[in-house]
Structure 1
Amino acid sequence: MKKRAYYHLPGLFEFYELYRVFLPLFREHREYFYDWCEISSIYGAPSDCIWGGGRTSFGEADAKKVLDLMQEYQISARLTFSNSLLREEHLQDRKCNELCALLEKNNKPQNGVIIHSDLLLDYLQKNYPGLYLVSSTTKVLTNFSDFLQEINREEFRYVVPDFRLNKKFDQLNQMNTQQKEKVEFLCNECCWFGCKDRKACYETVSRKNLGENCQEHICAAPDSGEGYLFSKAMENPGFISVTDIKDTYLPMGFSNFKIEGRGLGSALILEFLLYYMTRPEYQIHVREKIYLDNMLDLF
């Protein structure tokens, strides 16, 4: 059986209008896309979710419409609830609970939650046992033994390691089949490979989502003022290319790949979809069909 890559894409709520146009293309014109890849899940969070974490980016699309779209195309919906600083009183938040209940009720295919907090993990397991759990990259697990401990936790279906473990092939290759199936690599991170403040950066986002007053995190990375550039991400030592996926990771037994980008514009997300999923000779066809839809804001 041919090995397949399963992508986990950004912007469940943030880029609803893009996916509303892209997913019919992916189904109706499968010849445009690589036959070895599928869309496994799309992740994100609507506005004002205090359980939110990762990046400061929230979508405004109606949750019911979003889930209807995911169910129509048999794609798992994931809530990005990776706030690392949750306290007991935050667990009763109405909006976050309503979203979890909605995902659990509309659970074909099974939906999930990306989390950081063990407090939230226990709460979700007790109150929404139908949702699967994903260990967030915001834990910044750069030590391989710590990553393996996380992989071996039965609570998680997937674990997203820090991008600096992406090329640790000697250690990755020693993992057993069950462990490899749980790894979800972050492919296109633009963050400085030598960054030592990544955890602090994520904590600032968590504080903002909780409504706390806090100082802005000042990134000390070289060229940080440029913001996200896909060309710069491609030069990152942790970058995973299409060729890497097809020729290295799939043969090794890894099949899950996460694309970041919730805080970016829909035009850049389209470039990710073109690069990672679309055959080069058909990329112009996909661009044209997306651009001709006047509901999509590409600016």
Structure 2
Amino acid sequence: MENTKKNIAYFHLPGLFEFYDLYSVFLPLYREHREYFYDRFEIASVYGAPADCIWGGGRVGYGECKAEDVLALMNEYGISSRLTFSNSLLRPEHLTDRKCNALCELFAASKGVQNGVIIHSDLLLEHIKKNYPDLYFVSSTTKVQTDFDEFLSETERSEFKYVVPDFRLNKQYDKLAVLPQAMKDKVEFLCNECCSFYCKDRKACYENVSRKNLGESCEDHICKAPDAKDGYRFSRAMKNPAFISTDDIMNTYLPLGFSNFKIEGRGLGSAVNLEFLLYYLTKPEYRLTVREEIYLDSMLDLF
């Protein structure tokens, strides 16, 4: 089958600031040895935020790499950079934050690939749209829109280039299949969520992260889901009813007209994120080869 936009899977990867060292080794390998990787799977963007960004959301306290270095690396490989500014509790006084505005200015001014912002707050959306119109917007999964009609309304909003639905909508094929193609092109599925499918505290968890990014004093959110104490396990995520496998992408989502897929993992270690790159992008017969290339470069910390 001929490779066209409609049958290529575009991946949106975690760790823009958090995994600079990993990507600085992986991306040259990805370019120079394209035969190692699935022909129909491409890297479209990498998302993240520096530590201590008050507009940040989803995860807190990660990302030490300099913005200029991050931007230069992504530009070199023609990959869109996305700032994860999904704080859900922003107030007007937060919009003047110098660090976050400076990041928007830097990424908006970048030539070549258009960069974007993953966003929750409509207040922040209006601020960025007015002051940094060259950035595009992605509606964040932190909105936890588990109702399909609510998600549908979000997808109809013209402000958003992409919308990441709650992972529990991933397998509602009967409803997804009948969406017009223009809406299908905007949907970006979260593939590897490890959170319990039946969790009722997801929104509260994200709000707790938002408070911490704002510097507010608050207790840690304690997840009550089964096995939460064990942390993230890719093997467990694969058993989640909402998990999207490579086979699912090739045999179900692409034929239905969906082409955008998000991988979570900003708060995890680089070794775990390498496993995501191996599983979702790398042909099985080359996974050991890629793993050895990364390890032997001595850029990956396992402990």
Which TM-score band applies after superposition, normalised by the shorter structure?
A: over 0.9
TM-superposed deviation, 1:76: 0.1
Q: Which AA in structure 1 matches 2:86? A: S
SS of the residue corresponding to residue 157 of structure 1 reads strand
Partners of 2:177 and 2:277 in 1: how far apart? 28
Q: How does 1:46-125 map to 2 (within 5 A)?
A: 46-125=50-129
> 103, 115, 132: which is aligned to 1:128?
132
Aligned length: 299
Q: Which residue of 2 aligns with 1:234?
A: 238
- The letter for the 1-side match of 2:74 is M
For 1:99 and 1:40, how far apart are their aligned partners in 2?
20
Distance 1:289 1:140 in 2: 38
- Superposed CA offset, 1:126-158 (max 9, x none): 000000000000000100000000000000000
**In structure 1, distance between residues paired with 2:250 and 2:302:** 29
Identity %, equivalent residues: 70
Structure 1 vs Structure 2 CA RMSD: 0.7
Give me the whole-angstrom Cα distance separating, in 2, the residues matched to 1:186 and 1:51.
Answer: 21
Q: Which amino acid aligns with 1:165?
A: L
1:39 aligns with 2:43: yes
> For residue 163 of structure 2, what is the aligned residue in structure 1?
159
Match in the other structure for 1:9:
13
CA distance in 1, matches of 2:61, 2:8: 30
Equivalent position SS for 1:245: helix
1:220 aligns with 2:218: no
Contact 2:51–2:60 (8 Å) recurs in 1: no
The correspondence of residues 166-185 of structure 1 with structure 2, limited to 5 A, is 166-185=170-189
Q: Match of 1:113, SS?
A: strand
What TM-score results when the alignment is normalised by the length of structure 2? 0.98
Alpha-carbon offset, residue 48 of structure 1? 1.0
Q: Quick one: distance in 2 between partners of 1:248 and 1:57? A: 37
Deviation at 1:219, TM superposition (A): 0.6
Number of the residue aligned with 2:280: 276
Contact 2:25 2:299 in 1 (8 A): no
1:267 corresponds to: 271
Unmatched segments (≥5 aa) in structure 1:
none
* 2:31 paired with 1:27: yes
The 3-state SS of whatever aligns with 2:82 is strand
State which of 145, 148, 168 in structure 1 corresponds to 2:149.
Answer: 145
Q: 1:108, CA displacement in angstroms? A: 1.7
Q: Post-superposition shift, 1:57?
A: 4.3
Aligned equivalent of 1:197 = 201
Q: CA deviation at 1:64?
A: 0.5
Runs of 4+ off more than 6 Å: none
